[in-house]
Amino acid sequence: MLGRIWRLLIGPVLSTRRARHERLPVLLALPVFASDALSSSAYATEEMMLVLWSAGEDALRLAFPISLAVVALLFIVVFSYRQTVYAYPQGGGAFIVSRENLGEFWGVLAASALLVGYVLTVAVSIAAGVNAIISAFPALLPYRLSLCVLFIALMTYINLRGARESGLVFAPPTYGFVLTFAILILVGLARGFAGDIQPAPYPPYGEGAQALSLLVILTAFARGCSALTGVEAISDGVPAFKSPESRNAALTLLLMALILAGLVLGITYTASYFQVLPVKNEQGEIIETLTSRLARTVLEGTPFEWFYYIVQAATTLILILAANTAYVDFPRLSSVLANARFAPRQLANLGDRLVFNNGIILLGLLSALLIIYFRGDTHSLIPLYAVGVFIGFTLSQAGMARRFARLKPPRWRIGMLISGFGAFTTGLVFMTQLVANFRYGAWITLVSIGVLMFLLFKVHEHYMTIKAQLKPKPSEPQPVRHRVLVLVPSVHQGVLQALNYARALAHPDEIEALHINVDPRPPAVYRRVLKRTKDEETELRLVTPAAEKMQQEWRQFVPDIPLKIIDSEHRSLVEPIEDYIDELIEQEQLDQVTVIIPEFYPRKWWHHLLHNQSAWILRLALMKKPKVVVSTVRYFLER
């Protein structure tokens, strides 16, 4: 029944050969892989201007020059990654590039930084999207956390349905966002140059104001660099593109860079021109975002004030759906790590809809926990955000520079120069991020990356240890001393079927049946002399009437296999069986004992709730014992 519910929610199973048909053309790949980077324009300028606002009006005049520096860095990174997608058509994420060219440690560092960054991507994007809703409808502020968790659940569900369906879902909001803000920026510039809008003076910052300094400028630049998060996603996902994969991925990278640059520069210039800033309440919380305030300013007093809600809806959708970039790349990178034996093998399993279900669900859970911990506050999450991403940028480009120097392909010097300059630049930006945001929470990201690296190496050590232990060694076939033990709850058809299976495994002389009497309280106890086999000495036992009745039934239906009945003084089922198996192995010096557990299987799912599931409990207990093979023989009931 659970399987039918899963099929209803997720959709029918897709054949593996459908994987190529699930690949994405450029028009669908752009919203899937670039929505994170494009959406960051909605909050990167705001974060940058919030820092400058604390230093006064003179500092705010630096917003546009700083945004130019951010865009210059964007194109440096993009041109370097274009080389990566051609060099690694199978997917050249930072882990693969760094591990192959710099070494295992640097590859794991890059992977850990990216995984942490993907979790933060989901948290920041969802929180920023909910903030856009609250800007339009302030009454929803008390429900911010609930809305964040709800949208994470929605994104998880959409991605579980498959890559092509997620691409079709994300294309309209992504292109709608770009078109909406292009219209808003052009209308704003036209009205500003025509003199229709007079810029209002900047409001005072209030408590926490500071003097303009180099640290303030560096901090503003570091916050503005959050616009670059998500740029590496395309190089991670080259195999998801339609053929020719590398060319389509490189084209998507360039389109993304051009659109993102236009959005960042347009929003920053227009906001600076009209002297627009976010709105804070008395507690210092942002109750209206920069883009919301900009849209109100540009559209106020025109017949198109209704377009404000279009802008907010587009912003909300792109920010929430921007988390899709992480939902594509986190599971993909997790599967690469799993195949390299650095992560649990379950993360490498391709699900029914040709997506990595386990990675998608894990990302949803981790990002929801992060959102809950930070109460959905975007401005608390941003300082943690870009640190890990720039570690990945730096290592990936350094790895590409090393690859050019090592392989020396045609025009390798130019390629090495581009990648080396990119690594140097992003390395400097990483250090800037670390210095500027350390006290605001960047240290949490570093600690998380370190802990994750430790866990990945421990997982790898575990798998390598298992591989060494399981390595086959040449040896002669050895005879195995073996017995079969059938557990008997009572004499019924399911037990008789299990005994037939036992006879197929061994001669009846090598088979025993065992019954545990968990309620050995007789109404009357009497003495009786019993014989187990012809050669066995007689012994005196205390036998209950119920045990005597079971022995009679047993002799009637199973005359060829002996039945041993053990009274459980403490009413335990598992311990007497374990003790008997240990004693049997020790006394007869056995190499293997096959324990057969008969189990009847009800026809309806709710019938299972009416039984005590003792077979399941026994399997869990016995599967951990050495020299014991557990086999369950099910008897399916017809009604």
Q: What is the DSSP string of 152-221?
A: HHHHHHHHHT-HHHHHHHHHHHHHHHHHHHHHHHHHHHHHHHHT--PPPPPPP--TT-----HHHHHHHH
The CATH class of the 20-464 domain is mainly alpha
- DSSP for 74-134? HHHHHHHHHHHHHH-TT---HHHHHHHHT-HHHHHHHHHHHHHHHHHHHHHHHHHHHHHHH
Residue environment code for 618-628, b if the CB has 16+ CB neighbours within 10 A, otherwise e: bbebbeeeeeb
In DSSP terms, which residues pair with 537 in a beta bridge?
A: none
Q: Where are the domains of the chain?
A: 20-464, 482-636
Would you say 225 and 386 are in contact if contact means Cβ atoms under 8 Å apart?
yes
197: pLDDT confidence band, cut at 50, 70 and 90? confident
Looking at the predicted structure, is the pLDDT value of residue 633 above 90? Answer: no
Looking at the predicted structure, is the pLDDT value of residue 361 above 50? Answer: yes
* 63 sits in which H/E element: helix 63-87
The pair phi, psi for residue 515, each rounded to 5°, is -125, 130
Residues in the chain: 639
Question: Rounded distance, CA 155 to CA 318, Å?
Answer: 12
Expressed in percent and rounded to 5, the helix, strand and coil fractions of the chain are 65, 10, 25
Average pLDDT over residues 476-500: 85
Residue environment code for 268-306, b if the CB has 16+ CB neighbours within 10 A, otherwise e: bbbbbbbebbbbbeeeeebbbbbbbbbbbbbbeeeeeee
Looking at the predicted structure, is the pLDDT value of residue 230 above 80? Answer: no
Looking at the predicted structure, is the pLDDT value of residue 254 above 60? Answer: yes
Q: Which of 15, 12, 34, 8 is nearest to 328 (CA)?
A: 34
Average pLDDT over residues 183-206: 81
Question: Rounded distance, CA 167 to CA 154, Å?
Answer: 15
105: pLDDT confidence band, cut at 50, 70 and 90? very high
Contacts 24+ apart (CB under 8 A), 452-455: 452/112, 452/115, 452/116, 453/108, 453/109, 453/112
In DSSP terms, which residues pair with 512 in a beta bridge?
A: 485
Tell me what pLDDT residue 531 has: 46
- The position carrying tokens 């195949």 is 339
pLDDT digit string, tens, across residues 269-288: 998 888 888 877 766 667 78
pLDDT digit string, tens, across residues 118-133: 899 899 889 888 888 8
Looking at the predicted structure, is the pLDDT value of residue 263 above 60? Answer: yes
**Other Cβ atoms within 10 Å of 65 Cβ, number:** 12
- The position carrying tokens 């920053």 is 268
Q: Which of 418, 63, 440 is nearest to 270 (CA)?
A: 63
pLDDT digit string, tens, across residues 322-357: 787 788 788 888 888 888 889 888 888 766 555 678
User: Does 562 or 205 have the greater pLDDT score?
Assistant: 562
Tell me what pLDDT residue 528 has: 47
Average pLDDT over residues 435-448: 85
Tell me what pLDDT residue 94 has: 83
- DSSP for 571-609? --SHHHHHHHHHHHHHHHT-SEEEEEEEEEE-SSGGGGG
SS3 320: helix
Question: Rounded distance, CA 561 to CA 503, Å?
Answer: 10
> What is the CATH number assigned to the segment(s) 482-636?
3.40.50
Average pLDDT over residues 573-580: 85
Determine which of 24-28, 349-353, 522-526, 532-536 has the lowest per-residue pLDDT on average: 522-526
Average pLDDT over residues 347-373: 82
Of 19-23, 59-63, 475-479, which one has max mean pLDDT? 59-63
262: pLDDT confidence band, cut at 50, 70 and 90? very high
Average pLDDT over residues 523-541: 50
Q: Which of 116, 115, 31, 44 is nearest to 321 (CA)?
A: 31
Tell me what pLDDT residue 12 has: 55
What the block records as the tokens of 576 is 């007497």
- CA angle, 226 then 228 then 232, to 5°: 130
492: pLDDT confidence band, cut at 50, 70 and 90? confident
User: Does 519 or 313 have the greater pLDDT score?
Assistant: 313
Angle between helices 94-101 and 307-339 (to 10 degrees): 40
Tell me what pLDDT residue 22 has: 54
Residue environment code for 376-405, b if the CB has 16+ CB neighbours within 10 A, otherwise e: bebbebbbbbbbbbbbbbbbbbbbbbbbbe
Question: Which amino acid appears at position 417 of this protein?
Answer: L
Of 37-46, 176-185, 232-241, which one has max mean pLDDT? 176-185
Of 103-117, 303-317, 523-537, 553-567, which one has max mean pLDDT? 103-117
How far does Cα 36 stand from its chain's mean position?
16
Average pLDDT over residues 622-634: 86
526: pLDDT confidence band, cut at 50, 70 and 90? very low
Question: Which amino acid appears at position 257 of this protein?
Answer: A
Mean pLDDT of the chain: 82
Looking at the predicted structure, is the pLDDT value of residue 475 above 80? Answer: no
pLDDT digit string, tens, across residues 500-514: 888 888 888 888 888
Question: Rounded distance, CA 82 to CA 256, Å?
Answer: 12
- Residue 288: which region, alpha, beta or left (left: phi > 0; alpha: psi -120 to 50)? beta
Average pLDDT over residues 157-172: 69
- DSSP for 407-455? H--TTHHHHHHHHHHHHHHHHHHHHHHHHHHGGGTHHHHHHHHHHHHHH
588: pLDDT confidence band, cut at 50, 70 and 90? confident
- Give Cβ neighbours of residue 389 (< 8 Å, ≥ 6 apart): 113, 114, 117, 228, 229, 232
Exposure of 439 by Cβ count < 10 A (0-12 exposed, 13-18 middle, 19+ buried)?
A: exposed
How far does Cα 571 stand from its chain's mean position?
44
Question: Rounded distance, CA 68 to CA 88, Å?
Answer: 30
Tell me what pLDDT residue 457 has: 94
User: Does 477 or 176 have the greater pLDDT score?
Assistant: 176
What the block records as the tokens of 201 is 């003076």
**Other Cβ atoms within 10 Å of 558 Cβ, number:** 19
What the block records as the tokens of 73 is 């860095």
Average pLDDT over residues 476-487: 84
The pair phi, psi for residue 395, each rounded to 5°, is -70, -40
Average pLDDT over residues 194-200: 78
